[in-house]
Structure 1
Amino acid sequence: MPKFQDQDVIEIVRGGSRLLIAPQAGGRLLSWHLHGAPIIHWPDAADWSQPALVRGGNPLLFPFIARHRVDGRIGFWRDAQGVVREMPLHGFARDLPFDAQVDEQGASVHMTLTDSEATHARYPFSFRFEARYRLVDEATLEVGLTTTNTAEPSSDTRMPPHMPYYAGHHFYFALPHTQRSEATLSLPRNVYRHQLADGTTTAPQPGATRYSFGDPQIVDRFHCLEGEPQTPVRIDMPTLNRAIEIDLKRPDSLPWYAVTSWTLAPDADFYCVEPWLGLPDAIHNGLGLRWLAPGQSETATLRIAVSALR
Structure 2
Amino acid sequence: MNITIYNHQIKATINTLGAELIRLEKKNQNYIWTVEETYWNKTSPILFPIVGRLKNDAYTIEGKTYELPRHGFARNFEFKTEYLTDNSVVFLLTENAETLKCYPFPFELRLKYEVTENGLKMDYSVINKSNKIMPFSIGAHPAFAINEPLSNFTLAFNEVEEFVSYELENEQFNNSFQIIPSENGKINLDYALFEKDALVFKHLKSDTLTLLRKNQPYISVEFKGFSYLGIWTKPNAPFLCIEPWCGLADNINHNGNIYEKEGIQLLDNNIEFEREINITLL
After TM superposition, the score normalised by the length of structure 2 is 0.86
| Partner Cα separation in structure 2 for residue 198 and residue 34 of structure 1 | 35
| Partner Cα separation in structure 2 for residue 223 and residue 165 of structure 1 | 19
Q: Which of 141, 148, 154 is 1:184 aligned to?
A: 154
Matching of residue 55 in structure 1 with residue 42 in structure 2? yes
Q: Which residue of 1 aligns with 2:50?
A: 64
Q: Which residue of 2 aligns with 1:213?
A: 189
Q: SS in structure 2 opposite 1:42? A: coil
1:252-288 CA distances to partner (integer Å, 9 max, x unpaired)? xxx211111111222x111111111111127376321
**Structure 2 unaligned regions, length at least 5:** 252-257
Q: SS in structure 2 opposite 1:20? A: strand
| Partner Cα separation in structure 1 for residue 246 and residue 260 of structure 2 | 14
Contact 1:225 1:256 in 2 (8 A): no
Matching of residue 263 in structure 1 with residue 239 in structure 2? no
Q: Which residue of 2 aligns with 1:97?
A: 78
Contact 1:196 1:202 in 2 (8 A): no
Q: Which of 92, 96, 104 is 1:112 aligned to?
A: 92
1:130 shift after superposition: 0.7
Identical pairs, percent: 22
1:206 shift after superposition: 5.1
| Partner Cα separation in structure 2 for residue 132 and residue 92 of structure 1 | 18
| Partner Cα separation in structure 1 for residue 33 and residue 191 of structure 2 | 21
Matching of residue 278 in structure 1 with residue 253 in structure 2? no
Matching of residue 85 in structure 1 with residue 66 in structure 2? yes
CA RMSD of aligned residues (A): 2.3
Contact 1:78 1:284 in 2 (8 A): no
Q: Which residue of 2 aligns with 1:224?
A: 202
Q: Pairwise mapping of residues 144-183 of structure 1 onto structure 2 (< 5 A)?
A: 144-152=123-131, 161-176=132-147, 178-183=148-153
Q: SS in structure 2 opposite 1:79? A: strand
Matching of residue 295 in structure 1 with residue 270 in structure 2? yes
Q: Which residue of 2 aligns with 1:200?
A: 173
Contact 2:53 2:171 in 1 (8 A): no
| Partner Cα separation in structure 2 for residue 204 and residue 80 of structure 1 | 30
Matching of residue 129 in structure 1 with residue 109 in structure 2? yes
After TM superposition, the score normalised by the length of structure 1 is 0.79
Matching of residue 42 in structure 1 with residue 34 in structure 2? yes
| Partner Cα separation in structure 2 for residue 63 and residue 243 of structure 1 | 31
Q: Which residue of 2 aligns with 1:5?
A: none
Q: SS in structure 2 opposite 1:217? A: helix
Count of residues in Structure 1 that have an aligned counterpart in Structure 2: 267
Contact 1:65 1:168 in 2 (8 A): yes
Matching of residue 238 in structure 1 with residue 211 in structure 2? no
Amino acid at match of 2:233: T
| Consecutive aligned runs of 4 or more in structure 1 exceeding 6 Å deviation | none
Contact 2:88 2:113 in 1 (8 A): yes
1:182-227 CA distances to partner (integer Å, 9 max, x unpaired)? 1011234353212213733434555554212215224511012334
| Partner Cα separation in structure 1 for residue 270 and residue 218 of structure 2 | 40
Q: Which residue of 2 aligns with 1:3?
A: none
1:21-48 CA distances to partner (integer Å, 9 max, x unpaired)? 111x1111111111111211123x679x
| Partner Cα separation in structure 2 for residue 60 and residue 238 of structure 1 | 30
**Structure 1 unaligned regions, length at least 5:** 1-7, 48-52, 71-75, 153-160, 250-254
| Larger strand percent | 2
> Could you say which structure has the greater relative contact order, defined with CA pairs below 8 angstroms and 6 or more residues apart?
2
| Partner Cα separation in structure 1 for residue 83 and residue 73 of structure 2 | 24
Q: SS in structure 1 opposite 2:98? A: helix
| Partner Cα separation in structure 2 for residue 69 and residue 46 of structure 1 | 26
